[in-house]
Amino acid sequence: MRLGIIGLPLSGKTTLFNALTRGSAPTGVVHGKVEVHTAVVDVPDPRVDVLSNMFKPKKTIYAKVTYADIAGLESGAAKSGFSGTLLNQLTQMDGFIHVVRCFEDEAVPHPAGSVNPLRDIATLDGEFVLNDLIAVERKLERLTDERRKGGGRDRAVIEREIQLFERFHAALSEEKPLRDVEITAEEEKMLAGYALLTRKPVLLVLNLSEGQAAPAIDYPHARSRLVALQGRLEMDIAQLPPDEAQVFLQEYNITEPSLNRVIRLSYDLLGLQSFFTVGADEVRAWTVRRGATAHEAAGEIHSDLQKGFIRAEVISYEELIALGGMNEAKAKGKLRLEGKDYIVQDGDIVHIRFNI
């Protein structure tokens, strides 16, 4: 899972990046160049901690998420076309965390002259819409030319693609992100290789000053979420040792660090879930999409397990904990044998039987 942290200059992107990654990347505005900070972060999951205490493994491995702090996005950038470097970074992301400035700070004046979250949201969304509109228009030109010349691909396939991209063009012309356009599974396959930015899910983060109340903002788009947090405070807390951080969290009435909340919302946004493998050598969390089969889950662990898949032994996390351990689960016959098409559930403990 790779999430790009985006936002207009001086919105607090790098501050959030540092809070999420417990890093110390320099904050400040970057003009005229694309600058990317990247970090891989453990996904905090109390279930992994409980399983590790139960099995006492040599290694405990959490699921991972990659955050990329992408500088270089400014108002008007899409009009002249995003640079190849910037567009390449954006298209590689599975989704975006859009940081919106809500805080006032005389020492850090807003580039537009005033703090206006709704304006800034519309500005950056507009940049992505314009980029996609240009890309869709170019694609329609190529498809129309292909239909006129004939030969090559099936004409019916070309017509279906034209219809899809015409729907996209209509939505973008009304300044609607493509996340709001419902498409079929067949149309989804047509889009393989087209990294349209407004198709990607977005987590909108309202960046508040210490003690500031979140403004009432509605962001009703499909595959979008909204969360408010105090970015600078969260970053400062993230730099502290765990015991000191807990004291500050309690003092400021923060129920959990932004890292936990943002990652959980990111998972939900991208349609992901975790399953676990356990044993004396290793307790590990793995990430799969919701709706993934046991066969697909086996492939996440190792391609050999997927290739030689026979059965999956499965028990839910809740049931394993209630029974008190794997030996008790086996003694009571609670391990289920599932086939390739079993739909893995969040929190399943899975052992793959295979033969190659």
What is the tens place of the pLDDT at every residue in 161-181?
A: 999 999 999 999 999 999 999
Nearest Cα to Cα of residue 350 among 324, 307, 320, 308: 320
pTM of the model: 0.90
Q: What is the pLDDT of residue 72?
A: 67
Percent of the chain with pLDDT over 90: 73
Nearest Cα to Cα of residue 303 among 356, 254, 340: 356
- pLDDT category at 31 given cuts 50, 70, 90 is low
Residues 6+ apart with CB under 8 A from 89: 4, 34, 36, 68, 70
Is the pLDDT reported for residue 280 higher than 80?
yes
Chain mean pLDDT for the chain: 92
Q: What is the pLDDT of residue 34?
A: 79
Domain boundaries, the chain: 291-354
Q: What is the pLDDT of residue 153?
A: 87
Query: In terms of DSSP bridges, do strands 95-101 and 2-6 run parallel, antiparallel, or are they unpaired?
Result: parallel
- pLDDT category at 71 given cuts 50, 70, 90 is confident
Distance CA 336, CA 315 (A): 6
Is the pLDDT reported for residue 48 higher than 70?
yes
Q: What is the pLDDT of residue 269?
A: 87
Distance CA 310, CA 352 (A): 8
Is the pLDDT reported for residue 140 higher than 90?
yes
Q: Under the phi-then-psi rule, with left for phi > 0, alpha for psi from -120 to 50, and beta for the rest, what region is 175?
A: left
Mean pLDDT of 269-292: 95
Distance CA 24, CA 131 (A): 32
What confidence tens digit (pLDDT) does each residue in 96-115 have? 999 999 999 999 999 999 99
Q: What is the pLDDT of residue 73?
A: 81
Is the pLDDT reported for residue 281 higher than 80?
yes
**Any alpha helices (H) in 252-345, and if so which ranges?**
258-270, 294-301, 303-307, 317-323, 326-331
Q: What is the pLDDT of residue 32?
A: 58
Alpha-carbon dihedral angle through residues 233, 41, 48, 225, given to the nearest 10 degrees? 60
Q: What is the pLDDT of residue 242?
A: 84
Distance CA 232, CA 252 (A): 13
Is the pLDDT reported for residue 29 higher than 60?
no
Distance CA 277, CA 41 (A): 20
Q: What is the pLDDT of residue 262?
A: 87
What confidence tens digit (pLDDT) does each residue in 2-27 have? 999 999 999 999 999 999 888 877 76
Distance CA 276, CA 350 (A): 6
Topology classification of domain 291-354:
Ubiquitin-like (UB roll) (3.10.20)
Distance CA 338, CA 11 (A): 48
Distance CA 37, CA 5 (A): 10
Percent of the chain with pLDDT over 70: 96
Beta partners for residue 60, in sequence order = 283
Q: What is the pLDDT of residue 28?
A: 53
What confidence tens digit (pLDDT) does each residue in 225-273 have? 999 999 999 898 888 888 898 888 888 787 777 778 888 888 888 999 9
What's the alpha-carbon Rg for the chain, to the nearest Å? Answer: 23
Residue ranges of E strands in 208-299: 224-229, 272-277, 282-289
